[in-house]
Chains A and B, each alone.
Chain A
Amino acid sequence: MSAPIVSVQDLRIHFPTQDRRETVKAVDGVSFDVLPGETFGIIGESGSGKSTLGRAVVCLLKPTAGQVKLGGIDPYSLPSAELRRRRRAFQIIFQDPNAALNPRMSVLDSIREPLDIIGEGSRADRSRIAQEMLERVGLRPEFGLRYPHELSGGQKQRINIARVLTVRPSVIVCDEVVAALDVSIRADILNLFAELQREFGLTYLFITHDLGVVSHVSSRIAVMYLGKFMELGPAEEIAERPLHPYTQALLSAEPIPLPSSMRATRRIILQGEIPSPTNPPSGCRFRTRCPFAQAVCASEMPAWREAAPGRFVACHFAGEVTGHPIDAHKTKEAIA
């Protein structure tokens, strides 16, 4: 196995609240490795900390504790000039293609901007690279002279992709990159991501709330809830045999376009909403909404353990609970 290109160890990112009296624990102890050339999917609801995690990976947020190693090096141990030189290899694309583009810059200027900042080559060289990338993402050359308001959402997202490609990154964090797009456009953009990955040998960290998308593109998936990973494993195993009750609930909540006779018979509907990250529940963070929660779930934080080769999970009853809430009688036996 090759060395991980991104290695996250017990990462914590905490923010003080506005009145400085409390702390929002957006990411609270997450560890994982991303291997070169893979697509690592992170799925979670809003407020789970997935975007914060993505930003930390590209050094947009400094860890409160723990470490993010990029290519084996802790970027914060580097002198700032060296950090600047290295971080170009780690790029991020955001959800809202409108907000990411300056409305007063032409498309070509926007695509060239990262190269201008790095200050590499002559202006003519940079324009040529920008033009190449514009065409590489499937837009006609004349688009370079247009402005963002003249483009559709899908075209704007293509431009955001072209922008990061100019600096030849090795890792791209894709933060909800297709969430704002229509279904048929979404398919086109996902296909483009796959092509570029093969062509440039890219590694993706794919952050999304969309199960269909994440399981299509990823080789491995991590499920995040309230600042922690609940489960991590190969994509098809997570999708077909989830071990954690939260993953099971997420999968069963996804509306599937199938005739009523072909849909799974019972849906697990979680009660309530994701609790506040300032004061997460004791023990297992998911216990307040978990249909299987027992006394032990409140008193003891479940360990992050390898339940099967390559499959990590944090649940006292992982694998014992499936689709339907177990009755109390059976659980007592399981504990004993």
Chain B
Amino acid sequence: MSDAPLLDVRGLGISFLIGGGSVQATQDVSFSVQPGERVGIVGESGCGKTITGLSLLGLLPRATTRVAGQAMFEGENLVGLPLSRMRHVRGRKISMIFQEPMSALDPVFTIGQQIGETILTHFKVDKKQARERAIEALASVGIPSPARVHDSYPHQLSGGMRQRAMIAIALVCEPKLLIADEPTTALDVTIQAQIIDLLMELSAKQGTALLFITHDLGVIAETCTRMITMYAGQVVEDAPVDSALVRPRHPYTSGLLRSLPRLSARGAVLPSIAGRVPTLRDMPTGCRFAERCAHRQKACAAPQVIEQAGAHSVRCWRQTDLVLPGALTDREAAA
């Protein structure tokens, strides 16, 4: 795509102030999202993917968080954006949906009141028009009998219906970007398939770009065109999804893909990534993955920079000499 990115994140670093000191949770996170593009962020718990999403909407506690770097969205830097300006972005330009719809929805308000709140904040409409629009939004996310659901409370809906309601709230103002943080993780696989289809359809129809945060590589493969791998607070790989799956260039991405059961013979020992993510307090100065990496060499003790080669950016100095296996079985790779 030739036009300017919708979102351009440069050098985003998030630190939390903890008792007198501070810990750096993410460092030098840079990526961009084009209008209408669907980008996935993968990584294991604690790698910084969720707080990266939250920081874009200023949802981290201001008193105890310091955010460095910038995140340009439609000519505005979202980092440090005054609350009064941020209110015009949240829900209207950028929306976010979360893993657990039960805790993201307010249990004491009806679904309709919660959608209406968003509509009344951003548009000059009266309550009756807001209601009509809310019911329309519920119908557009495939909720049967939307008028009834409009007047229901969250506890009266199933998990799948709640997630649909949350998507309706997020998309009612037709935002330019939807940040979806593990939106299908709590759902059953058949319901997950329905929600993924719905997100893809709505994103295509409204031209909404998707930033899909998940640990599920299968979900990324099915929804996204680009995949960003995060490890210990850094972006380690950023590549078109198909090329990252077939030939990942960072040993961590490769390790994640290889640990999936489908690649191993039934009952065989599954490859795993030995060791644990270093803690925030003693993050190595060199490559953060080195301690767990089978390919480490002396030079890995030096800080790694993310380098671009074509459409593929990797934070590993050995990216050109390593040939790493991806998500294909040997038979699939040979074919």
Residues of chain A whose beta carbon lies under 8 Å from any beta carbon of chain B: 45-46, 152-153, 182-188, 190-191, 194, 209, 211-213, 215-217, 235-236, 249-250, 253-263, 267, 269-270, 273-274
Contacts and interface: CB of A to CB of B under 8 A. Distances in A.
Contacts of A269: 190, 193-194, 197
A183 B256 CA distance: 7
Given A273-B160, A273-B191, A215 B269 contact: no
B270 A258 contact: no
B245 interface: yes
A211 B215 contact: no
**Most chain A CB within a 10 A radius of its CB, from B188, B218, B242:** B188
Given A187-B270, A236-B266, 14 more contacts: A153-B45, A184-B272, A184-B273, A185-B272, A187-B261, A188-B270, A191-B272, A216-B261, A216-B266, A255-B222, A257-B260, A258-B221, A262-B332, A269-B193
Contact of A183 (B215, B245, B246, B264): B215
8 contacts: A152-B276, A253-B190, A253-B192, A269-B197, A273-B158, A273-B161, A273-B191, A274-B188
Contact of A184 (B190, B193, B255): B255
B189 interface: yes
**Most chain B CB within a 10 A radius of its CB, from A153, A182, A188, A270:** A182
B259 A183 contact: yes
Nearest to A214: B261
Interface in B228-242: 241-242
Contact of A191 (B188, B255, B269): B269
A187 B268 CA distance: 11
Contacts of B267: 194, 216-217
B186 to A, nearest CB: 9
Nearest to B197: A269
A45 B190 contact: yes
**Most chain B CB within a 10 A radius of its CB, from A191, A216, A254:** A216
B8 interface: no
Interface residues of B, number: 46
Contact of B259 (A186, A255, A262, A270): A186
A183 B189 contact: no
Interface of B: 44-45, 158-161, 188-194, 196-197, 215-222, 241-242, 245-246, 255-257, 259-262, 264, 266-267, 269-273, 276, 327-328, 332
B159 to A, nearest CB: 8
Nearest to A188: B272
Given A209-B189, A250-B189, A253-B193, A190 B270 contact: yes
A253 B187 CA distance: 12
**Most chain B CB within a 10 A radius of its CB, from A184, A209, A263, A270:** A184
B189 A191 contact: no
Contacts of A215: 261, 266
Main secondary structure of the interface of A (DSSP, over half): helix
A183 B218 CA distance: 12
A274 B160 CA distance: 11
A257 B193 contact: no
Given A190-B270, A194-B269, A261 B242 contact: yes
Given A182-B215, A183-B215, A216 B220 contact: no
What 6 pairs across the A-B complex have the smallest Cβ distances? A255-B218, A216-B261, A259-B242, A187-B272, A187-B270, A257-B217
Given A184-B273, A273-B191, A256 B259 contact: no
Contacts of A260: 221, 242
Main secondary structure of the interface of B (DSSP, over half): helix
B221 A212 contact: no
B191 A183 contact: no
A187 B271 contact: yes
Nearest to A197: B267
A230 to B, nearest CB: 13
**Most chain A CB within a 10 A radius of its CB, from B158, B159, B190, B215:** B190
B136 to A, nearest CB: 21
B192 to A, nearest CB: 7
Nearest to B194: A269
A256 B222 CA distance: 7
A249 B327 CA distance: 23
A182 B189 contact: no
Contacts of A209: 188-189
Nearest to A239: B266
B220 A267 contact: no
Contacts of A212: 260-262
Contacts of B255: 184
Contacts of B264: 216
B16 to A, nearest CB: 19
A39 to B, nearest CB: 8
A257 B261 contact: no
A211 B189 contact: yes
B248 to A, nearest CB: 11
A258 B332 contact: yes
Nearest to B243: A259
A241 B197 CA distance: 25
Nearest to B246: A259
Contact of A270 (B158, B190, B220): B190
Given A184-B256, A270-B190, A258 B158 contact: no
Contacts of B196: 255
A175 B302 CA distance: 44
A258 B245 CA distance: 7
Given A183-B256, A187-B259, A191-B270, A257 B221 contact: yes
Contacts of A152: 276
A246 to B, nearest CB: 9
Contacts of A236: 266
Given A152-B276, A184-B256, A253-B189, A259 B262 contact: no
Contact of A45 (B44, B45, B189, B242): B189
Given A255-B196, A256-B218, A213 B261 contact: yes
B184 to A, nearest CB: 9
